[in-house]
Amino acid sequence: MCGIIGILGKHEVSPQILDGLKRLEYRGYDSAGIATINSGKLDLRRAVGKLINLSDIMVHAPLPGRSGIGHTRWATHGGPSVANAHPHRAGRVAVVHNGIIENFRALRAELTSAGAEFGSETDTETIVQLASQYLEQGMTPVEAARSTLKRLEGAFAVAFLFEGEEDLIICARRGSPLCIGHGAGEMYLGSDAMALAEMTDRITYLEEGDWAVLSRGGALIFDAEDKQTNRPMTRINVENTRVDKSGHKHFMAKEMAEQPGVLQAAMGYYSGREHDSLELPQGLDFARADRLIMVACGTAFYACQVAKYWFEKYAGLPVELDIASEFRYREPVLGPANLALFVSQSGETADTLAALRHVKPHVAQVISVVNVPTSSIARESDIALPIHAGPEIGVASTKAFTAQLQVLAILALRAGLQRGTLSPKAFAERLFELRAVPGFVAQALDREEEIKRLSEVLSQARDVLFLGRGMMYPLALEGALKLKDISYIHAEAYAAGELKHGPIALIDKDLPVIVFAPHDGLFEKTVSNMQEVMARQGKVLLISDAKGLAEAGEVPFRLAMPTVPDFIAPIVYAVPAQLIAYHTALHRGTDVDQPRNLAKSVTVE
Ligand code: G6P
């Protein structure tokens, strides 16, 4: 989390840095700041809260200069305050940083006893104090930065700016992403290529452990052993990085509305020439696997939880599912015939990436399903399958979730075919169903007005319970997560059959209970659990299809969904889960795209 940008420009850089930070604001918005060098002098501006506060400050106190660095923060060490905001400065150095310096306490103690005075509670300030101390000892900026980097432990990306150096930014990547942009007589630096999209389409991704010395003439890149190295320059598709709301009130609204198109595109991307065939990367081998290990965080984890049902049902492949932050620390048993599958929108989530690195030497193949094809997770996988959802800016993941499901469903079908558990006929039938998803998702989106009305009731609630069975259980979990994320209403999800083992004690007339129950093989059982809730005056909202609603009898609130095949139901039922959270949040007046305390890309453990 936290976004970094740096520019060595031909013109004033502050407006460009602000623009770049706007594109990085999804990484955190607790505070923001910019430092520049103007006529050799280092100066900075910082503000708490959203970027707009920094823009306001800079209207009255502009920050001239053609070299600069900027930062948008998600607080880790030290609360959101001006003192804790980046850039941090000590003497002639300013630093912006993303990640965590794990040995900062020891460094801080050492620096304090050497006379350094700290002005913040951050781990970052140790970087800048160290670099300043090295400069005072007579080192050049490059030596000071290199010596500083050697002292740091943890996962981070960092950029240094030095007073008196108009043509120099030094940056380093260890665990957190960082890329360099090439312009005509200008150089840029950003946490992701999207931040630089308005400036250049020529990008060099730094590798793990790299550090680089930037000047307007280019970049000198060094690897973890300080050997000068070359990293390839790639051209990114700037079209794919466009980030506007296209007339929608929020990015989340735009991204939900985009789903039929996104799912169609993802399907098209993996479709073969024949209507009943798939085109997937060579070497994807499910046939010899004895186990599939799936690891992810947040919404991506719930996509994996749905996919577990698919892989087990259609491919007979045992699936082990783990939350990334738990995975490596429980000493999982790994084997040479295991496949590992990582799912991540950003492709940069620190825990997921660490889990990938943990399994890679021990398993047959590492596969990833990502939205950002240039991300660390994609690049470190043996096979990366992009979901082609385009930039997702709203912190609450929507189109990435349904596109992840679509791609995971494709993989499960391929696995079924390869393992002989799906006949070619059954494979073709399921594929046919999958092709219908965009149309059904469009129909589900058409229920928005009704959901808006239902959400008004929910917005009054203090707690909400979500229930589902089978593949609707992870959907219930996703619905509860979305509601918490953006409306700040406490929500919990339970497997409907588990209700009577505890949470039923919570039921009273004030507790809305949302039940996901398409008319499938588990419908009767879910409806029985729903009756148990209604018998205790719980306020049920049943989300089902025409047959389900007809058979369920009297229910306080109901939402009709299109009738869809069981296989694809979780993708279609994701839409009401999203819309309920969105409209409940609107009724409550919360910040839908940038909910408090959250960040889109979680690059710290
Ligand atoms: C954050 C985001 C979630 C996301 C999760 C995993 O918590 O707010 O929307 O699901 O990270 O992110 P990833 O990029 O790995 O899918």
pLDDT tier at 239, thresholds 50, 70, 90: low
Which residue CA neighbors atom 3 of ligand 1 most closely?
Answer: 298
> Does residue 235 have a pLDDT over 70?
yes
Q: Helix, strand, coil proportions of the chain in percent (round to 5)?
A: 40, 25, 35
Centroid of ligand 1 to alpha carbon of 439 (angstroms): 26
CA atoms within 13 A of residue 543's CA, in its CB half-sphere: 31
Other C-beta atoms within 10 Å of 208: how many?
17
> Does residue 550 have a pLDDT over 70?
yes
> Does residue 432 have a pLDDT over 90?
yes
> Does residue 147 have a pLDDT over 70?
yes
Quote the pLDDT of residue 241.
64
Whether residue 348 contacts residue 376, with contact meaning beta carbons closer than 8 Å, is answered with yes
Euclidean distance between CA atoms 67 and 37, whole angstroms: 6
Angle separating helix axes 437-445 and 259-270, nearest 10 degrees: 170
Percent pLDDT > 70 in the chain is: 99
> Does residue 46 have a pLDDT over 80?
yes
Q: What are phi and psi of 124, to 5 degrees?
A: -60, -35
> Does residue 506 have a pLDDT over 90?
no
Angle separating helix axes 298-315 and 472-487, nearest 10 degrees: 170
Other C-beta atoms within 10 Å of 555: how many?
18
> Does residue 421 have a pLDDT over 80?
yes
Euclidean distance between CA atoms 432 and 603, whole angstroms: 38
User: Annotated catalytic sites, by residue?
Assistant: 2, 600
CA atoms within 13 A of residue 289's CA, in its CB half-sphere: 31
pLDDT tier at 26, thresholds 50, 70, 90: confident
Which residue CA neighbors atom 5 of ligand 1 most closely?
Answer: 298
The pLDDT mean for the chain works out to 94
> Does residue 535 have a pLDDT over 90?
no
Taking the CA of residue 349 as reference, the ligand 1 atom at the shortest distance is: 15
Quote the pLDDT of residue 242.
63
How confident is the model over 163-179, as pLDDT tens digits? 999 999 999 999 888 99
Which residue CA neighbors atom 4 of ligand 1 most closely?
Answer: 298
Centroid of ligand 1 to alpha carbon of 323 (angstroms): 12
Measuring CA to CA, which residue among 121, 122, 87 is closest to residue 101?
122
Euclidean distance between CA atoms 280 and 269, whole angstroms: 9
Centroid of ligand 1 to alpha carbon of 497 (angstroms): 28
How confident is the model over 356-376, as pLDDT tens digits? 999 999 999 999 999 998 888
pLDDT tier at 240, thresholds 50, 70, 90: low
DSSP 271-337: B-SSTT-B---TT---TT-SEEEEEE-HHHHHHHHHHHHHHHHHH---EEEEEHHHHGGG-----TT
Residue 466 structure tokens: 């979500």
How confident is the model over 461-498, as pLDDT tens digits? 999 999 999 999 999 999 999 999 999 999 999 999 89
> Does residue 533 have a pLDDT over 90?
no
Q: What is the mean pLDDT of residues 216-227?
A: 96
Centroid of ligand 1 to alpha carbon of 401 (angstroms): 10
What residue ranges line ligand 1, CB within 6 angstroms? 297-300, 344-346, 349, 352, 395, 397, 598, 600-602
Is the link from the previous residue into 576 a cis peptide, with omega within 30 of 0?
Answer: no
Whether residue 147 contacts residue 134, with contact meaning beta carbons closer than 8 Å, is answered with yes
Measuring CA to CA, which residue among 28, 27, 75, 65 is closest to residue 45?
65
Q: What is the mean pLDDT of residues 29-46?
A: 96
Quote the pLDDT of residue 74.
87
Taking the CA of residue 377 as reference, the ligand 1 atom at the shortest distance is: 15
* pTM as predicted: 0.84
**Residue keyed to tokens 């976004």:** 3
How confident is the model over 442-463, as pLDDT tens digits? 999 999 999 999 999 999 999 9
Select from 251, 302, 397, 482 the residue to mutate for testing ligand 1; criterion: most ligand atoms less than 8 Å from CB.
Answer: 397
Q: In what order do the strands lie in the sheet with 187-190?
A: 41-48, 31-38, 67-73, 3-8, 187-190, 179-182, 202-205, 233-235
How confident is the model over 200-215, as pLDDT tens digits? 999 999 998 999 999 9
Q: What are phi and psi of 367, to 5 degrees?
A: -115, 145
How confident is the model over 559-575, as pLDDT tens digits? 999 999 999 999 999 99
